[in-house]
Amino acid sequence: MIQEIQIYNTLTRKKEVFEPLAAGKVGLYVCGPTVYGPPHLGHARSAITFDLLFRYLKQIGYQVRYVRNITDVGHLVADADEGEDKIAKQAKLDELEPMEVVQKYTNMYHQAMALLNLDSPSIEPRASGHIIEQIEEVKKILASGYAYESNGSVYFDVEKFASENEYGKLSGRKIEDLISNTRTLDGQSEKRSGLDFAIWKKAQPEHLMHWPSPWSEGFPGWHIECTAMSCKYLGETFDIHGGGMDLTFPHHEAEMAQSLAAHGKPAVRYWMHNNMITLNGQKMGKSLGNAISLEEFFSGNHPLLEKAYSPMTIRFFMLQAHYRSTLDFSNEALQASEKGLERLMKAVSKINSLPVSESSTIPVSEIAANCFAAMSDDLNSPIAIAGLFEGVKLINSVADGKSTISADDRDALNRLFHAFVFDIFGFKAENQLESGTSEVLSEVVDLLMKLRAEAKANKDWATSDKIRNELAAIGFDIKDGKEGVSWELKK
RNA sequence: GGUUCCUUAGCCGAGUGGUUAGGCGGCGGUCUGCAAAACCGUAUACGGCGGUUCGAAUCCGCCAGGAACCUCCA
């Protein structure tokens, strides 16, 4: 039996019970990155949000096909109409082939996502690999009468579409407002209205990326790729479409209109949007020049960063906030996440060695119910994490002998924590010792620990402190616990 | 300018009509040769002013401050 889950649908602006098109199966499409720059924190937020959805849906029993695209063609630069292909522009600056740029940043994206421990999507289609499909969509829209050709380019006729269909519902806009907002900007453009958007764009001679089409040598408009690829892999109508909130307009609004124009029915049943990462209260974004790349977070190599933050710290930081809230970046918040995650991970590794008793004072099923209820309420990961920390308190209490747990409950607790910590939240151990990188080093440090223990037994505090302090200077944490000494190498 | 949204303790962040969110930090304690770590306990709150209500951080109005989208964006 699959657990019921509620999802906030941007289209209706309320939480709705999720009912898949086909029982037990979910089609999920998420807008992936435009690969013309290194991946930053914002990319991670979107990717982690929908990774969480992907993982949770699988956990509660769904079979999910998760499609996340790579946009590697067709974006226009700021001057909207007559702009260059964004990727081509970057290519000239770097003196690289466009596809080389695409490859480079795609690799960087994959690498960062792997470090963040994201489950790979089921299919990761590239826009450049679906030019034919996109041309087919353009033909369908032309045939339906909602697009027109102009000087080798094809534009979607927004006003005509809006006169016969809903346009602006997703982003909460009224067509009249849009018209009055854009009409003044309308100059000598080949578009009939400033609202219209290109679904096929004729390439200027300096464009490096272009393909033949019935209308011109050119490239597809930005929005059409998602229509073509979601349709190809998930069908004309599918369950969930996700992406960053900043894509709601115009990208998703256009996509909605196009799909309806091309196929005669709505494509998406539930629209989900993650909110932005902010820096000093302002959106972090490449165009604002305040984006910190993931590589910089992992290395600590950025003026705003006090230290390096591991991928799991970033992941935990994100999941501590609800995906529909803005999340403000700060060193203090990140360091709090780092410590909180450490506490959680330590508790998980303790569960199996907890002493069992006849009876149990731990309300395991209650904790489990709370965690699942939170996640099923529009992916409320912060509440679920709070539930887990209730469990952490109890785990420590049993370890201290202040509470008792039965063997059955310990198993249940173990299953619960593994399901949430590893399978749903996707955390993994990052400690070097746990990943077993350097056996020889371990043995050497263990030897020093032994010498220190001997010195302590002889009350030779000078020697024992010297060993501790000098190892600390190298970067080792020496911890004297009740059950002996442990150590770890920081960084 | 238009549309939408936000304002919760030192920091980050849940909640959304009556019940402890949680994490980090602070403070107190346990442990320790000392310290650190670990663990336990604990205090501090709902931007301002009105209204609705038996009762509001939660609903409504006004004000202040901030943000997002309207152009490429996760």
Domain range A6-274, CATH architecture: 3-Layer(aba) Sandwich (3.40)
Nearest partner of A88 among A99, A103, A79, A78, judged by Cα: A99
Distance between CA atoms of residues A163 and A227, nearest Å: 22
**Protein-nucleic contacts, chain A 222-281 to strand B, CB < 7 Å:** 222, 243-251, 274, 276-278, 281
Any atom of strand B under 7 A from CB of A322? Answer: yes
Distance between CA atoms of residues A243 and A49, nearest Å: 9
pLDDT of residue A181: 74
CATH of domain A278-424: 1.10.730.10
Q: By three-state DSSP, how is residue A478 classified?
A: strand
Nearest partner of A342 among A477, A228, A183, judged by Cα: A477
Contact A278, A333 (CB under 8 A): no
pLDDT of residue A76: 44
Nearest partner of A379 among A113, A69, A67, A60, judged by Cα: A60
Q: Name the residue with the least CA to C1' distance from nucleotide B31.
A: A482
Any atom of strand B under 7 A from CB of A285? Answer: yes
Measure, in angstroms, how far nucleotide B7 C1' is from residue A398 CA.
Answer: 41
Distance between CA atoms of residues A37 and A286, nearest Å: 8
Any atom of strand B under 7 A from CB of A335? Answer: yes
Measure, in angstroms, how far nucleotide B38 C1' is from residue A109 CA.
Answer: 37
pLDDT of residue A437: 57
Domain spans in chain A, listed from the N-terminal domain onward: 6-274, 278-424, 439-489
Give the DSSP letter string of A91-114.
Answer: HHHHT--HHHHHHHHHHHHHHHHH
**Protein-nucleic contacts, chain A 117-146 to strand B, CB < 7 Å:** none
Q: What is the mean pLDDT of each run of 10 residues along chain A (491 residues)?
A: 90 93 97 94 97 98 97 58 63 73 94 97 97 97 96 95 93 86 61 92 84 95 95 98 95 96 96 94 86 95 93 97 94 95 94 91 93 96 96 93 93 96 94 61 87 90 91 84 75 56
Q: Which residues of A186-204 are buried (b: 16+ CB within 10 A; e: fewer)?
A: eeeebbebbbbbbbbbbbe
Provide CB contacts within 8 A for A383, sequence distance 6+: A370, A374, A377
Please report which helix (H) or strand (E) contains residue A287, including its range.
none
pLDDT of residue A95: 66
Q: Can you name the residues that pair with A156 across neighbouring β-strands?
A: A147, A197
Q: Are strands A238-244 and A268-274 parallel, antiparallel or unpaired?
A: parallel
Any atom of strand B under 7 A from CB of A283? Answer: yes
Q: At what angle do helices A224-234 and A253-263 cross, to 10 degrees?
A: 60
Contact A182, A193 (CB under 8 A): yes
pLDDT of residue A79: 37
Over residues A428-441, the pLDDT tens digits come to: 988 655 455 577 88
Provide CB contacts within 8 A for A234, sequence distance 6+: A27, A28, A29, A65, A67
| Tokens of residue A167, six digits | 């346009």
pLDDT of residue A80: 38
Measure, in angstroms, how far nucleotide B63 C1' is from residue A120 CA.
Answer: 49
CA distances from A253 to A146, A170, A258, A268, A477 (A): 15, 6, 9, 11, 53
ipTM comes to 0.95
Please report which helix (H) or strand (E) contains residue A242, including its range.
strand A238-244
pLDDT of residue A252: 96
Over residues A146-196, the pLDDT tens digits come to: 999 999 999 999 999 999 999 999 998 888 888 877 665 445 578 888 899
pLDDT of residue A401: 87
